[in-house]
Structure formats: structure tokens, C-alpha cells
């Protein structure tokens, strides 16, 4: 279905200008002659709106299989699309754990049948995420290049060494969940320096962690890291999430790390729970639906260019996943999000798309509403 965006502002890491964009059959082009506009199936007045490459989340929990009362592949993808995400990487702490070919094929096949987002399952590092026995990398590497026991740290030093060595041998990213955070990051960086590997540190939240990673990058260690929207946006909240909300000095250093390139990407750590489970102390909060708004509101207040947001939420994640990113100057695939940067809204005033509502940000006023999400040239979410 041909879609014409008239007078739209287009933004990516290299582009920021106003134009007219025609999307047709997973391709797009800029056009100057609008005389034939009646031939287009849909014409969208883009004045005051922004069209960007859609977002990629390298860290979320979809709870499918096993905990589908919290979230499932369908509701999780609906939530992702409502937040402007078209590619999501789901963690392995399901039931059964995603530590075997049958489970990972179940996730891939179900996601394909739903035809919503691109879903990339993350394999566990250890069997059932609770032993020192590594998964069969030979069988799992056929389906994914991301491995993590997220939700649990790899405490055993020898297991971590073998996982790092496997990440070099099989060329995958090892995503680590570090608690206690600073001590484990320090240990893992020392092991990385000694044994090599492809290390990615999840949900960095402390000032000291940023300083350690900054120094490791200066030493040319092969390490990347992420920060969540909620750890960037807030501090000191009395809400059960792991890692917890930190102090103001930590949040300030996280933003400094974003600006100087120490922090590579923003990832949501979307962790849906039922009200009953949350009352019992379940850790985590939902993040996919309002991630863009939280980050954009922070950037707006700090006068940070939105092109950096596109880098953190689209461009760099695509490179890390070795995906072909949407780029306006390269005429690559048509995965877009349409946003209204001027729109101010209150989180929670509209029904959530997730099955869960566990977030401390209900009632929070934010800027930047997602109006439309397009995957492969097809409208998958429309909130106009």
C-alpha cells in the first residue's frame, strides 16, 4: 500500500531535514512532485511530525513460554510496536528456559506466524540458568548470536571464563547480568582482558560501573554496554526493580556515559509481572511502550539532539545485531516510527498494550508520542 508523508521531518544519525517521503513495497524515496498525489493510497500530513528509523530493543522479557499470564509473544509484540520497536531480543528466563533447540524454535515459529516484529530469542548460557553446565553452543548457535542468563548472574568464575571463550569461538555476544554490579563488572572485565571474548554488560546503573567500562574501552577491550530508559530518567524511586533505582550522582554519570560514547545502546529490560506477583516482590517494570517518551523527555530537558537518540535506539543496536539498518541516505529497508515530539501526555491515561501494568511511571507527564510504526513498509501500529 503506497503511503505518502507530506512535509515530514526525517531524522536518523546522519539526516535531519524536511521533505516528502513515499513508502511502497518495503522501499522508500523522497519526491518533489506532488501533482500525482491522488494516486497514493494514503496521504499523511507530516507537518510538525518526525519520521525516524524504528527502534531495536536488545533486552526484553516476553514470558513466553511458561509465564504467559504476565505477557506472551503476541501482547509483547503489540507493546513493542506501540513503542516504535520493530525488532526485539527476548531473554531466556522462560519456562522451560530457552536453553535448547525445541524452545528456541517454538519462539521463532510463533513469532513468524504472528508477523508483527522481528523477534530474536536470546539463548541461555547455562542449562536452566542455574547450573554450571553450559548449553550446547553447537546446537543453539544455528538460531541466535546472543547468549545470556539475564535475571541471574554468572557467579562461578570458571563458568564465566568458559562462556567468554565460547563467545570468541562461536562469535556470539555474551550479555551479562551483574550483581553486586560494580564488583562483578570489575571481575568480568579482568577476565575479558585475560581470556578475550565478546562481552556486553546489561542495564548499567552505577557511576562506578560507567567509570570501569570507560577505562576498559580506553584499553581497547571488546566490551559494550546498555542503559535502561528508567535508570536514565529517574533516581531514588522506592520501586522493586533490578538493578534498583540509584542516586542522582549515578543518573548524572549514566547521562555523561551516553554523551561520551561509553554507553552504546538504550535497552528497555521490559519485565512484565502480574499484580499478584509484584505484590510478592517480583523484580522489574514494563518498558517497551514508553521507552521513547522517557528518553526523549530527558533529552529535551537536557537539550540533547534527537539524532543521538536514534543512534542509541536504532543505529548502534542494528550494527551490534549485524542487521541492515534503515537509513534515509542509503534507501535501505522501510522500518519506521512516526512520532509527535510536541505531544505531551500522561503515562497510564490510555490503556496499556502490555498484559501488565507494573511501572512506577503511571501519572508521569512525558513528551513524544508514537503515532505509527511501520515494518517492511507495512503499517503495524496506528495511533493517529
Task: Output phi, psi for 162, to 5 deg.
Answer: -65, -35
Same domain, 20 and 144: no
Task: Report which of 197, 246, 201 is spatially closest to residue 222, judged by C-alpha positions.
Answer: 197
Q: Write down which residue in 293, 320, 347 finishes a domain.
A: 320
- pLDDT, tens digit only, all 384 positions of the chain: 789 999 999 999 999 999 999 998 888 988 877 766 556 678 899 999 999 999 999 999 999 999 999 999 999 999 999 999 999 999 999 999 999 999 999 999 999 999 999 999 999 999 999 988 999 999 999 999 999 999 999 999 999 999 999 999 999 999 999 999 999 999 999 999 999 999 999 999 999 999 999 999 999 999 999 999 999 999 999 999 999 999 999 999 999 999 999 999 999 999 999 999 999 999 999 999 999 999 999 999 999 999 999 999 999 999 999 998 888 988 778 999 999 999 999 999 999 999 999 999 999 999 999 999 999 999 999 999
CA-wise closest residue to 360 among 248, 255, 234, 265: 234
Which grid coordinates belong to 265?
Answer: 545502546
One-character DSSP codes across 209-277: HHHHHHHHHHTT-SEEEEE-HHHHH--S-----SSPP--HHHHHHHHHHHHHTSS-EE---B----HHH
Q: Are residues 255 and 362 in the same domain?
A: no
Domain boundary residue among 298, 320, 342?
320
Q: What angle do CA 319, 187, 156 make, to 5 degrees?
A: 100
In a domain, 35, yes or no: yes
Residue 97 lies in a domain: yes
Residue 96 lies in a domain: yes
Alpha helical stretches, state H, the chain: 73-82, 101-114, 137-140, 157-170, 181-195, 207-218, 229-233, 248-260, 275-279, 291-302, 306-310, 316-320
First-to-final CA distance of the chain: 18
Kindly list the distances between the CA atom of residue 315 and the CA atoms of 88, 310, 344, in Å, as whole numbers in the listed order: 14, 6, 26
Same domain, 147 and 269: yes
Question: 316 and 195 in one domain?
Answer: yes
**What is residue 331's predicted lDDT score, i.e. its pLDDT?**
76
What is the bridge-based pairing of β-strands 223-227 and 265-266? parallel
For the beta carbon of residue 218, count every other beta carbon within 10 angstroms: 9
* Half-sphere exposure for 74 (CA within 13 Å, toward CB): 4
One of 12, 57, 264, 269 is an active-site residue; which one?
Answer: 269
- Is residue 328 assigned to a domain? no
Question: Is residue 96 reached through a cis peptide bond, with omega within 30 degrees of 0 on the bond before it?
Answer: yes
CATH number at residue 249: 3.20.20.140
Q: Give the model's pLDDT for residue 1.
A: 76
| C-alpha cell belonging to residue 274 | 502480574
Same domain as 269, residue 346:
no
- Contact assessment for residue 28 and residue 22, using Cβ atoms and an 8 Å cutoff: yes
CATH number at residue 44: 2.30.40.10
Residue 35: per-residue pLDDT: 67
- Do residues 52 and 373 make contact, with C-beta atoms less than 8 angstroms apart? no
In a domain, 155, yes or no: yes
Residue where a domain stops, chosen among 320, 351, 369: 320
Pair (292, 173) in one structural domain:
yes
325 part of a folded domain:
no
Q: Which domain holds residue 356?
A: 3-52+333-382
Domain-located, residue 326: no
Residue 87 corresponds to which cell in the numbers above?
525488532
Q: Are residues 59 and 199 in the same domain?
A: yes
**33 and 161 assigned to the same domain:** no
Q: Do 134 and 15 fall within a single domain?
A: no
Q: Which residues contact 40 (CB under 8 A, 6 or more apart)?
A: 2, 3, 4, 22
Beta-bridged to residue 60, according to DSSP, are 90, 270
Strand 27-30 to 223-227 pairing:
unpaired
Domain annotation covers residue 148: yes
Gap between the Cα atoms of 367 and 354, Å rounded: 20
Total count of domains within the chain: 2
Residues 104 and 128 grouped into a single domain: yes
Q: Do 202 and 190 share a structural domain?
A: yes
Considering the domain architecture, whether residues 74 and 182 belong to the same structural domain is answered as: yes
Q: Is 25 noted as a catalytic residue in this protein?
A: no
Amino acid at each position: 500500500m503506497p503511503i505518502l508523508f507530506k512535509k515530514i521531518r526525517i531524522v536518523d544519525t546522519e539526516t535531519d531535514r524536511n521533505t516528502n517521503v513515499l513508502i511502497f513495497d518495503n522501499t522508500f524515496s523522497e519526491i518533489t512532485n506532488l501533482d500525482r498525489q491522488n494516486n497514493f493510497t494514503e496521504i499523511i500530513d507530516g507537518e510538525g511530525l518526525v519520521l525516524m528509523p524504528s527502534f531495536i530493543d536488545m533486552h526484553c522479557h516476553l514470558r513466553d513460554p511458561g509465564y504467559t499470564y504476565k505477557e506472551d509473544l503476541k501482547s509483547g509484540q503489540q507493546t513493542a510496536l506501540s513503542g516504535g520497536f520493530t525488532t526485539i531480543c527476548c531473554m531466556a528466563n522462560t519456562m522451560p528456559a530457552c536453553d535448547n533447540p525445541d524452545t528456541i524454535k517454538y519462539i521463532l515459529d510463533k513469532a513468524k506466524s504472528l508477523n508483527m516484529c522481528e523477534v530474536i530469542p536470546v539463548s541461555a548460557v547455562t542449562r536452566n540458568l542455574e547450573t554450571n553446565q553450559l548449553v550446547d553452543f553447537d546446537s543453539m548457535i544455528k538460531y541466535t548470536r546472543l547468549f545470556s542468563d539475564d535475571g541471574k548472574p554468572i557467579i562461578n568464575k570458571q563458568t564465566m571464563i568458559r562462556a567468554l571463550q565460547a563467545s570468541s569461538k562461536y562469535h556470539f555476544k555474551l550479555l551479562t547480568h551483574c550483581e553486586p554490579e560494580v564488583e562483578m563488572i570489575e571481575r568480568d572485565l579482568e577476565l575479558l582482558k585475560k581470556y578475550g571474548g565478546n562481552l556486553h554488560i546489561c542495564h548499567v546503573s552505577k557511576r562506578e560501573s560507567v567509570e570501569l567500562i570507560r577505562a576498559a574501552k580506553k584499553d581497547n577491550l571488546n566490551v559494550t554496554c546498555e542503559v535502561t530508559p528508567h535508570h536514565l530518567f529517574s533516581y531514588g524511586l522506592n520501586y522493586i526493580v533490578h538493578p534498583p533505582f540509584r542516586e542522582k550522582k549515578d543518573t548524572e554519570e549514566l547521562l555523561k556515559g551516553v554523551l561520551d560514547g561509553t554507553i552504546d545502546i538504550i535497552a528497555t529490560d521490559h519485565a512484565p509481572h502480574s499484580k499478584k506477583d509484584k505484590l510478592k516482590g517480583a523484580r522489574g517494570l514494563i518498558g517497551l511502550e514508553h521507552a521513547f517518551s522517557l528518553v526523549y523527555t530527558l533529552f529535551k530537558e537536557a537539550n540533547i539532539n534527537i539524532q543521538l537518540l536514534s543512534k542509541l535506539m536504532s543505529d548502534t543496536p542494528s550494527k551490534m545485531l549485524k542487521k541492515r539498518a534503515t537509513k534515509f541516505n542509503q534507501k535501505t529497508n522501510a522500518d519506521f516510527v512516526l512520532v509527535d515530539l510536541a505531544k505531551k501526555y500522561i503515562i497510564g491515561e490510555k490503556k496499556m498494550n502490555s498484559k501488565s501494568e507494573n511501572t512506577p511511571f503511571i501519572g508521569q507527564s512525558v513528551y513524544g508520542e508514537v503515532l505509527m510504526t511501520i515494518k517492511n513498509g507495512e503499517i503495524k501500529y496506528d495511533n493517529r
